[in-house]
Structure 1
Amino acid sequence: MPPFELLTVIHVVFSSRIAGGERHCIDLANAQAALGHRVHVIGSAGSAVAGALAPRVTFHGLQLPLLRGWRVAALARRLGADICHGHLGPACKAVARAGGSTRIGTLHVGYKPHHHARLDGLVCVNRAQYDGLPKAEKQEASVIYNWAPERDTAARRQTDLRAELALAPGQLLVGSVGRLHVSKGMDLLIQGFKAHAPAEAVLVILGEGPDEGELRKLAGGDPRIRLLGYRSDVDAALKSFDLFVSPSREEAFPLAILEAMRAGCPVLSTATQGPQEMLAGQPARLVPVGDADGLGRAIAEELARLRALPAEDRALQYATKAYDRGDAVARTLGFYRDVMRRQAAQPQHLDDEEKAIIA
C-alpha cells in the first residue's frame, strides 16, 4: 500500500463508446484502484466504459443527460469524493458543478472556457496546450503525458492481419487506427492513398464512427482499401503494418501513434499539435495538415523507401520513456494532492449555484 492517505476519486466520462480519451480514463481509474484508492466512474447508462473497468472500480450510470452537472455534484457529495476528475468537454462542464471536492479536468482535446474555466486544476497532455492556457489557468495546471494502455492480450495472440487479408509476401500494408470522424482525417488518407499509392499496396483502417458510410463511398469499391471496423486486437494488427499513418486534422495526444511506436512501426503523421511534440527527434515523418495530395505523395515515398529495405530492417526503435504508465499515474495523484493543498491554504468562496447544490 502507498505510504500516504488513500483518496476517494470519481472519474466522469459520458461517452457511450470507447475511444482514446475514454481508454485513458478507464486505465487511470483501474490503476488508481489497484493502488488501493476508492475509485468510482460516472458515465452514461449502458456505456461500454462500464465493461472495461476493473472489479474494484464502481460504475454509476446516469439514465438521462438531463441535469447531469447537478447529479454528478450530488453523487460526488454522497460518496465523499476528494477528487472529481472530468474527461472530455461535457464531463468537465458537469464536474465544474461538484463543489466540495477538488475538481480536475484533462484536456484530451483542448481548452474551452465554458468547459474548463471553473475547474480547480487542469491536466494538459502536451506542452503546447499548457503554453496556450490563459495566464491565470497556468497556475493550476500541469503537463502529464498520456500512455498507451495494453489492449486485449488474448486477441493479440490470435491475430495475423496479413493472413486475414490474404496478402502476398511482398505486398506493403498501410494502416491507420481511429474514430471515423472528420477530425481524424480518414477521408484525406483515402484520397491520398487512391491517388498516389502503388497498385500492389493495401490500406486498412481500424475503427468505427459516424463517417463510415461516407468513407466507403469515397473508397469507391477500390479493392486495395479495407475498412475493418472496431478491433480489440490493435496491438497485434500494428505489428502487421509496414507503415502507420495518422491523417488527423486535430490531435492533442493520439494514443494510436504511441501504440504504433510501441510496435516499432514506421510512422507518418500530419503535423497536428500532439504529434509535433511526440515525434520530435523520433524516426518519424510529419506532413502538413489537411493536404490529401501531400499526404498521398508522402505515403508513396515512404513505401518506396521501405521496399528498398529488407523486411527485418523496417522495424524502428522509439524513445518512449516519457510515456511510462506508472510515472504518469503517480504524477496524476501528486497533482491531485498539490491542488488539494493549495485549496486548503486558501479561503473557499462558493457561488450561488454551488450553495444550492450543497443545500
Structure 2
Amino acid sequence: MHPPFEPLTLVHVVFSSRIAGGERHCIDLANAQAALGHRVHVIGSAGSAVASALAPAVTFHGLKLPLLRGWRVAALARQLGADVCHGHLGPACKAVAHARPAARIGTLHVGYKAHQHARLDGLVCVNRAQHEGLPQGEALASVIYNWAPELDASAAARPTDLRAELGLAPGQLLVGSVGRLHVSKGMDLLISAFKAHAPADAVLAILGEGPGEAQFKALAAGDSRIHLLGYRSDVDQALKSFDLFVSPSREEAFPLAILEAMRAGRPVLSTATQGPREMLAGQPARLVPVGDADLLGRAIAEELARLRILAPEARAVSYATAAYDRGNAVARTLGFYGDVLLRQAAQAQHFEDEEAAIIA
C-alpha cells in the first residue's frame, strides 16, 4: 500500500469477553499492525480478556454496556479519527456498519450473514468457498487466509509437559482438541466418539472454555480417561504433547487450532467442514464426515492403532504452510484496506463531480 494511506489509524472491534479463535486473530492482527507503525485501537467489552493480550502500543477501549453499541462504536471511531474500522465476529461487524466515514471492514470468521455484513465496505473471506458464495453487492471482497498467531515467547520459556500433568505412562497415547466449548465445535461428538471407540489406555484432553462446559462434563462423567482442562495460555506447548489432534466441529470457516497443530507437527484428524476441506487438501491429514460420532470414533481408533506402532519421534508430520504466512497475510490485509480507501475516495470524487455538474 502506498501513501497517503500510511500510517493509518486502525480501529478493530471485537465484543467477546473471552479469547477464542476469532479473538486471537484480532489480537494478533492488531499487534502486528501496531508493530508496523500504524495507530491501532481495539474496541471491546469492558473487562474482556482481549485487553490484557494486546501489545503496549495498542490502545483498548472497553464499553461497559451492550446498549447502542453501533452508535457508540461510530462515535468513538470518529473521535479517534479512524481511517479503517474492522469488525471481528458478527455482533462487532454489525456495529462497525455504523462507523462512517471510516472504511468499514469485516472478517468472516464464521460466515456471511446479511444482517451483519451487507452494509460493510469490504469483506475479508478466510476461504475460497466463502468468497464464491457471497451475494452480489457493493462491498469489495478478498480471500486472505488466517494464520497461527505468533508464538508466545514467555510461554515457550515455561515448557508444558501435558503428559506428566495428566500422569500418562510412556506407552499411552494422548488425543487432544482445542476449541470453544460450544455445540458448533462438536466437542460432544468427540467425547461420544472417544468413549465408544478409543482403546482403554488412550486419554483425551480438551482445551477450551465456553457455554457447553457443564453439558460436556456431564457427557464425559464416568470415564476417567477424559479431561476437560479449560482455558490454557500454553496451547502451543500443550499441542506438542498430543499424539493425535482432532477437530470435531460441525461448522468451521478457518480453524486456527488446526494451523497450530500443523505448526506443532501433530497428526490431524478433522471433520470435513468448509475451512478444513480447503486447508487440508493435499496435506498428510485425515477428514471424516461432519456430525457422525460413530465414524469419527472409528477413525480415532484407526489413527491410534497406526500411531502406536511408531516411535514417538516418528509420529511427527510435516505440512505445507507457506499459504498461511503471518507477514504476508498482514501485508495483504493492509493492502485490502488501501483498495477500499481508494474506492471510497474515487466514489467521493465522483459524487463531487456530479454535484458540480448539476450546479453548473
After TM superposition, the score normalised by the length of structure 1 is 0.94
Structure 2 CA distance for aligned equivalents of residues 27 and 252 of structure 1:
18
Deviation for aligned residue 1:135: 2.5
Unaligned residue ranges in structure 1 (runs of 5+): 351-359
Q: AA paired with 2:153?
A: T
What CA distance in whole angstroms lies between the structure 2 residues aligned with 1:240 and 1:63? 39
**Cα distance in 2 between the residues matched to 1:349 and 1:19:** 42
Query: How far off its partner does 1:58 sit?
Result: 0.7
Partner of 2:201: 200
Q: Distance in 1 between matches of 2:219 and 2:246?
A: 18
Shift of 1:99: 1.1
Q: How far has the Cα of 1:116 moved from its partner? A: 0.3
- Residues 52-131 of structure 1: pairs in structure 2 closer than 5 A: 52-131=53-132
Shift of 1:154: 3.0
On the 8 A contact 1:17/1:48 being kept in 2, the answer is: yes
Q: Counterpart in 1 of 2:269?
A: 268
Structural RMSD (CA): 1.5
Name 2:356's counterpart in structure 1: none
Residue 18 of structure 1 aligns with an amino acid whose one-letter code is I
| Cross-structure match for 2:144 | 144
The reply to whether residue 153 of structure 1 matches residue 153 of structure 2 is: yes
Matches for 1:174-323 after TM superposition, within 5 Å: 174-323=175-324
Match of residue 336 from structure 2: 335
| Amino acid in the other structure paired with 1:143 | V
CA contact (8 A) 1:184 1:248 kept: yes
The offset of 1:152, in angstroms, is 3.5
Report Cα offsets for 1:114-165 as digits up to 9, x if no partner.
000000000000111001101235x610000011113543333321111111
Tell me how far apart the structure 2 counterparts of residues 19 and 292 of structure 1 sit (CA, whole Å): 24
Cα shift readout 1:295-331 (whole Å, capped 9, x = no counterpart): 0000000001111222221100000011111000000
SS of match in other structure, 2:227 = strand
Query: What displacement does 1:48 show?
Result: 0.7
Question: CA separation of 1:222/1:349 partners in 2, compared to 1, >3 Å: closer, same or farther?
Answer: farther
Secondary structure (helix, strand or coil) at the match of 2:209 reads coil
Corresponding letter in the other structure for 1:146: N
Contact 1:151 1:233 in 2 (8 A): no
| 2:354 corresponds to | none
- Aligned to 2:100, the other structure's residue is in SS state coil
1:349 Cα deviation (Å)?
11
Paired residue type of 2:132: D
- Per the TM alignment, residue 347 of structure 1 is displaced from its structure 2 partner at its CA by 3.7
2-side partners of 1:186 and 1:54: how far apart?
A: 32
Q: CA deviation at 1:348?
A: 8.0
Q: Letter of the aligned partner of 1:239 in structure 2?
A: K
CA distance in 1, matches of 2:336, 2:150: 24
Q: Which one is further off, 227-236 or 341-350?
A: 341-350
Moved over 4 A (4+): none
Specify the SS of the correspondent of 2:217: helix
Paired residue type of 1:173: L
SS at match of 1:286: strand
Residue type matched to 1:124 in 2? C
Length-normalised TM-score, structure 2: 0.94
Moved more, 318-327 or 301-310: 301-310
Q: Give aligned-pair identity as a percent.
A: 83
Secondary structure at the residue paired with 2:347? coil
Deviation of the 1:55 alpha carbon: 0.8
Measured after TM superposition, the shift of residue 212 of structure 1 is: 1.0
Aligned-partner Cα distance in 2 for 1:49–1:234 = 16
Q: Give 1:357's aligned residue.
A: none
SS at match of 2:137: helix
* Number of residues of Structure 1 aligned to a counterpart in Structure 2: 348
The CA distance in 2 between the partners of 1:294 and 1:301, in whole Å, is 11
Residue ranges of structure 2 left out of the alignment (5+ in a row): 352-360
CA contact (8 A) 1:151 1:232 kept: no
Separation in structure 1 between the aligned mates of residue 170 and residue 103 of structure 2, nearest angstrom: 56
